[in-house]
Amino acid sequence: MNLARRHVIPETDLPEGREVLDAGRALAKDWHVGPSVFLDYYQVNCEAEYKLRCMDSERIMQHAHMGFRDKKKSIRAFQEIYESTEKQGVRVDRFGLCLDWSMGFPRAMRDSQLRGTGLILDGPEDFHEVANAAPAATHFGDFVLGFPGALENTQAALSAGGTVIGNLGQYFTFRLPDWNDDIVTTNSTLKAIGLIAAQPVKVLVHSNLDDGFAAVFEDLASALGAAMLERYIIEDLCGALIAHCFGHHYSTPLTRLSFQRALSIASPNPGSMIYGNTTSYRGSDAENYASLGAYLLLDIVGQMTCPSGHAINPVPVTENRRIPEIDEIIDAQVFAGRLTANGNDYLPIYNDTEIERVANTLVAKGTDFYNATLKGLEEEGYDIADPFELMLAMRRIGCKELERRFGQGRWDDESHRRVAILQSDTVNEIEQLVTVNLDAIDPSDRKTLNDSGLKVLVATSDVHEHSKMLIEGLFRELNIDVLDGGVSADIIDLARLAEQESVDAIALSTYNGVALTYFSRLRDQLLEMGIPVPVLIGGQLNEIPEESVNSLPVNVEDKLKKEGAFVCSGILDAIPILVNLSREKCSENYHRSATAQ
Ligand code: B12
C-alpha cells in the first residue's frame, strides 16, 4: 500500500481538526454532565473521582454488561442485578450497555438501517431513564464515539450523567453497513470529543482496544503502542482524557497480567474495565466456568498488586450461546465477589518477576512502535498535529498495514510477516485451530480439495473476523484459492467480486444477528446478476424477528437452509460441501473438454 498522504487522503478540503474540536467545545454551553442517581448517591462529580476513591480504599470495582433490545427489560435488569447482588454482599459499581449497531447512525437515519440485537435508545430521555435505574455508573461505550451519530449520542449520554464515554477503539475498525462517509464519521466523533474536553468535570474518553487494534494486531507490542497513539490524539491533540479497556482476546495469564501492567504505564488514567476473556468461552456452561474463574482471578490479583482503576467484568457463562439473561448476570457477579474475597490468599504465592520483564519489554517496544508510526506518517506528508488528519489516516491505512510498516518485530522474508515481540493469544489460538481442523480431515477429501482448483470468496458481514482468519488459514492449507471479500462487507461489493473473479463459492461468517436478512439480500443480488454461487454461512445464525414479542433473537438455521444457504455450525461442515463442489467442477471441466474435442 502506498502510504503517501495524497494517496490515502486525496480530499483537498479536509476539515481542520482544531476547528471541528472548537465547534464541539462551543456546544458545552448547552450540553453538560447532568445529574444522576450514581453521582448523587456517592457524592462525586464523575466516575473518575469514584474510581480514584476505590483505588485508595483498595476496593475492586465490578462491571456488569448487558445487551437486551428491550428498554424496559434493560431498566429492570439494572434494578434486579443491583438489588440482588447487594443482598448477597456484592456491589455492582458500573453497568455497560450493548447498544445496537444501528445506534451508530444519526437518529433521523436509524429506522431504515439493518438492526442487530442490542438496545436502541432514541433521545436523551431514553438515555436518562436507563442510566438512572440504579445507583451504579452507566458506561455508554459501544456505538457512541466513532460513528456518524457520535455527537447526538454523546450529548444524550452526558446529559444522562454519563462520565465515561466511548468507544474510540471502534472508530478505527468498525464499519456500519452501507456507510462509506468516513469524513462525516470523523467529524461527528471529533466534535463529540471537543464537547467532552470542554466539560467542567472529568469525562473519560473510553477506548476498548479489543474492539479496535488489539483484536487484529498480531503483536501485543503494537497493541500497546496503539494505546499510546490514542492517548496522544485524545490528550495531547484534543485536550480530553482517555481511559483504556482490554481483555476479550487476552487468554494466557502472562499476556493478560503483563498487558495490564504495561497499560497502567502507557495509559495511566484509571481504566474503564478489563473486559472478560470472552474468546475463551467455547464450550458448555460448566466448561466456561473454568474460563471465568481463570481470567477473573488474574484480573483480581492484577488489581491487588497494581491497581489501575479497571473494574473487573464477570461475563456470564452462556455468552457464546446466546445473550445472557438477568439471573445469569447476577450469578457471574456473585461468583466474582466470592473470588475477590479470596483474592488476598493468593498473594503470598504470587511472583511477578516474569510479568514485570514482559511488561517492561511491551512498554519499550510499544513506545518504539508509537514513535515509528508518528515519524513514518510525518515523513509520508501527514500533519500529525491535526487530530482529524491523524485519525482518518490511521483508520484508512488500517491495523494490518500499520503493523506491517511500523511493527517492531523482525521481518521474516519467508513467511512475509513480522515475528512478533509477543504474539497475541488470538493469533496463537487461530494457528492451533487450523492445525487441529486440518488433522481431522479425511486424507481422501484433502486430496480431492488439493487438486480441485476451487476458488472461494471469504468475507464477514460485520467486525467479527476470527472465523474468517481460521477459514482462510485452513483453506490455504488445502490448496484452495482464497479470495479476500473483506470484513463488514457490503452485499453489492461481494456480489461484484464473485462475478468478476468467477468464484466457485462464497464462505460467509456473520455474528451480529442479521444472518437471514443478510443472506437473503446477498442471494437475491447474486440471482439478479445471474450468478447462483453457493453460499456457505456460519457464526451466530440468529435474528430478532419483526413480529417478536420478547425482542430476543431466535435461531434461523432452518430458514436459512430453506432459502438455499449451506449452513455450517463448525468449520469442518464446509469440507463435504466443498468436496461435492470440486467433484461437480471436475465433471463439468471433463464434459467441457470432451465437447470441445
Ligand atoms: C471475539 C468477539 C468479538 C470481537 C471481534 C474481534 C474481531 N476482530 O474478530 C469484538 C470485541 C470486536 C466484538 C464486537 C462485537 N460483538 Co462480539 N463476540 C466475540 C465472541 C467473544 C467470539 C466470536 C468469535 O470470533 N469466535 C471465534 C470463532 C473461531 O469461533 P466460533 O464463533 O465458534 O466459530 C465457529 C463456527 O461458528 C464456524 N463458523 C463461523 N463462521 C463460519 C463461516 C463458514 C463459511 C464456516 C464454514 C464456518 C463458520 O466455524 C468456527 C470454528 O468451528 C462472541 C461470543 C463467543 N464467545 O462466541 C461475541 C458475539 C459474537 N458478539 C456479539 C456482539 C453483540 C458484538 C457487538 C455488536 C457488541 C457491541 N455492541 O459492540 C460488537 C460487533 C460490532 C460490529 N460492528 O459488528 C454477540 C452476538 C449476539 C447475537 N447475534 O446474538 C456475541 C455472541 C456475544 C453475546 N452473546 O452477546 N465481538
381-399 pLDDT, tens digit each: 999 999 999 999 999 999 9
Nearest CA, atom 44, ligand 1: 538
Domain boundary among the residues 357, 382, 406 is at 357
**Mean pLDDT confidence for 38-65:** 97
Confidence at residue 178, expressed as pLDDT on a 0 to 100 scale: 86
In a domain, 461, yes or no: yes
Residue 228: inside a domain: yes
Q: Residue 227 in contact with residue 186, Cβ under 8 Å?
A: no
Q: What is the mean pLDDT of the segment spanning 374-379? A: 98
445 and 312 within one domain: no
pLDDT for the residue 451? 92
DSSP structure string for 450-513: HTT--EEEEEESSS--HHHHHHHHHHHHTT-EEEEEESS--HHHHHHHHHHTT-SEEEEEE-SS
Please state, in angstroms and rounded to a whole number, the distance separating the CA atoms of residues 300 and 280.
Answer: 18
Query: Is residue 433 included in any domain, yes or no?
Result: no
Domain boundary among 357, 386, 419: 357
Residue 591 CA to ligand 1 center (angstroms) comes to 42
Q: Which residue lies with its CA nearest to atom 49 of ligand 1?
A: 538
Mean pLDDT of the chain: 95
Q: Say yes or no: 208 and 64 in one domain.
A: yes
More reliable by pLDDT, 96 or 587: 96
Q: Is the pLDDT of residue 586 over 90?
A: no
Q: Over the stretch 453-470, which tens digit does the pLDDT of each residue have?
A: 999 999 999 989 999 999
* Residues in the ligand 1 pocket, defined by CB under 6 Å: 67, 98-99, 101, 116-118, 142, 174, 210-211, 215-216, 248, 278-279, 281, 319-320, 323, 462-467, 470-471, 507-509, 511-513, 536-540, 542, 553, 568, 570-571, 573-574
CA of 536 to the centre of ligand 1 (A): 17
Beta strands across the sheet bearing 63-66: 63-66, 94-97, 137-139
d(CA 120, ligand 1 centre) in Å: 20
Could you report the per-residue pLDDT of 405-456, keeping only the tens digit for each? 999 999 998 888 899 999 999 999 999 999 999 999 999 999 999 998 999 9
* Statement: residue 195 has pLDDT above 90: yes
pLDDT recorded at residue 117: 85
Q: Could you tell me if residue 368 is inside a domain?
A: no
Percent of the chain whose pLDDT exceeds 90: 87
- Whether 429 is in a domain gets the answer no
Res. 215 pLDDT band, cuts 50 70 90: confident
Q: Are residues 218 and 316 in the same domain?
A: yes
Number of domains in the chain: 2
Q: Summarize pLDDT for 13-48 with one digit per residue, the tens.
A: 999 999 999 999 999 999 999 999 999 999 999 999
Domain co-membership, 482 together with 336: no
The residue whose CA is least distant from atom 59 of ligand 1 is 320
Write out the three cell numbers for 537.
454461512
pLDDT for position 466: 94
Please tell me the distance from the alpha carbon of residue 206 to that of residue 279, in angstroms, as a whole number: 21
Q: Cα separations (Å) of 86 from 136, 137, 350?
A: 12, 15, 30
Same structural domain, 25 and 132? yes
Residue written as cell 466457485?
504
Ligand 1 centroid to Cα of residue 80, in Å, is: 27
> Which pLDDT tens digit goes with each residue over 113-131?
888 889 999 889 999 999 9
Q: What is the pLDDT of residues 460-519, one digit of tens each?
A: 999 899 999 999 999 999 999 999 999 999 999 999 999 999 999 999 999 989 999 999
C-alpha 509 to ligand 1 mean position (Å) = 9
**Which pLDDT value is given to residue 546?**
81
Question: Is 507 part of a structural domain of the chain?
Answer: yes
Nearest CA to ligand 1 atom 30: 467
Query: Once rounded to an integer, what is the mean pLDDT over residues 306-330?
Result: 95
Give backbone dihedrals phi and psi of 503, rounded to 5 degrees, phi first.
Answer: -75, 155
Domain that holds residue 578: 440-596
Backbone angles phi, psi at 577, to 5 degrees: -65, -45
Final residue before a domain boundary, out of 306, 334, 357: 357
Distance 511 CA to ligand 1 centre (A): 5
Probe residue for ligand 1, chosen from 467, 494, 517 as the CB with the greatest number of ligand atoms within 8 Å: 467
Q: What does 141-193 look like in DSSP terms, one character per residue?
A: -TTSTTSTTHHHHHHHHHHTT--EEE-HHHHHH---TT---HHHHHHHHHHHH
pLDDT value at 593 more than 70: no
Q: Which residue lies with its CA nearest to atom 91 of ligand 1?
A: 464
Mean pLDDT is lowest, of 474-478, 550-554, 587-591, for 587-591
Cα angle 582, 585, 590; round to 5: 125
Nearest CA to ligand 1 atom 37: 539
Say how many Å lie between the CA of residue 585 and the centre of ligand 1: 32
- CB-based contact 504:532 (threshold 8 Å): no
103, 143 contact by CB (below 8 A): yes
pLDDT reading at 548 higher than 80: no
**Residues 214 and 350 reside in one and the same domain:** yes
589 has a pLDDT exceeding 80: no
Residue 596: pLDDT band with limits 50, 70, 90: low
Question: How far, CA to CA in Å, does 461 sit from each of 37, 103, 177?
Answer: 39, 17, 8
Q: Please check whether residue 403 is in contact with residue 192, taking contact to mean a CB–CB distance below 8 angstroms.
A: no
**CATH no. for residue 453?**
3.40.50.280
The yes-or-no verdict on residue 590 having pLDDT over 70 is no
pTM to 2 decimal places: 0.93
Protein residue closest via CA to atom 10 of ligand 1 = 211
Q: Residue 83's CB: how many other CB atoms inside 10 A?
A: 13
With a pLDDT cut of 70, the percent of the chain lying above it is 99
190 domain residue, yes or no:
yes
Q: pLDDT at residue 59 above 80?
A: yes
What is the pLDDT at residue 597? 60
In the reported structure, the alpha carbon of residue 319 is separated from the centroid of ligand 1 by a whole-number distance in angstroms of 10
Please state, in angstroms and as integers, the Cα–Cα distance from residue 551 to each residue in 73, 120, 158, 307, 386, following that order.
Answer: 10, 11, 27, 39, 43
- Is 467 in the same domain as 329? no
Mean pLDDT value of segment 363-387: 98
CATH number for the domain that contains residue 135: 3.20.20.240
* pLDDT (mean) for 266-285: 96
Within a domain: 212: yes
Longest Cα–Cα distance in the chain: 88
How close is the Cα of 156 to the center of ligand 1, in Å? Answer: 28
Q: Which residue has a Cα nearest atom 24 of ligand 1?
A: 466
Residues 52 and 144 in one domain: yes
Domain check: are 340 and 458 in the same one? no
